[in-house]
Structure 1
């Protein structure tokens, strides 16, 4: 038997607050759409890769990205 919205809400509300926050974030993200097209995303990735390969952009080191968590 499929869950109703009410049953899902009751289940979600019984979760610990941190898990409810994670679930809320996932639900909100599922509503947001990326306005860029696949072609625009691909063009941006190609430009960024070319910048890295040409030396125009040196990128970041592992430590710069992850800091002390590494």
Structure 2
């Protein structure tokens, strides 16, 4: 059976109350976005991009970015 919203909801509703509450808390937290405005995020991204272009920030290799250690 494919994993759909309905299947997930039915499974979640079958959990004991405490586990449902913990799951609900996790789901709500996942909806809480970044508190910065779009303008603030754009400024941060522009700053980072300029650092990469100028060479001030060497960036990271693929291996560094995805290293589990």
TM bucket by the smaller chain? 0.5 to 0.7
* Corresponding residue for residue 56 of structure 2: 56
Q: Which runs of 5+ in 2 are unaligned?
A: 1-8
**C-alpha distance in structure 2 between counterparts of 1:61 and 1:55, whole Å:** 14
The alpha-carbon deviation at position 23 of structure 1 amounts to 7.2
Superposition TM-score, scaled by structure 2 size: 0.58
The reply to whether residue 46 of structure 1 matches residue 37 of structure 2 is no
What is the SS of the residue equivalent to 1:35?
Answer: coil
RMSD over aligned CA atoms reads 2.8
Normalised by the length of structure 1, the TM-score is 0.58
User: Could you say which structure has the higher helix fraction?
Assistant: 1
Confirm whether residue 28 of structure 1 aligns to residue 29 of structure 2: yes
Q: Note closer, same or farther for the CA distance 1:24–1:13 as it changes in structure 2 (3 Å cut).
A: farther
Deviation at 1:22, TM superposition (A): 7.6
The list of structure 1 runs, each at least 4 consecutive aligned residues, that deviate by more than 6 angstroms after superposition, is: 20-23
Question: What stretches of structure 1 of length at least 5 have no aligned partner?
Answer: 1-9
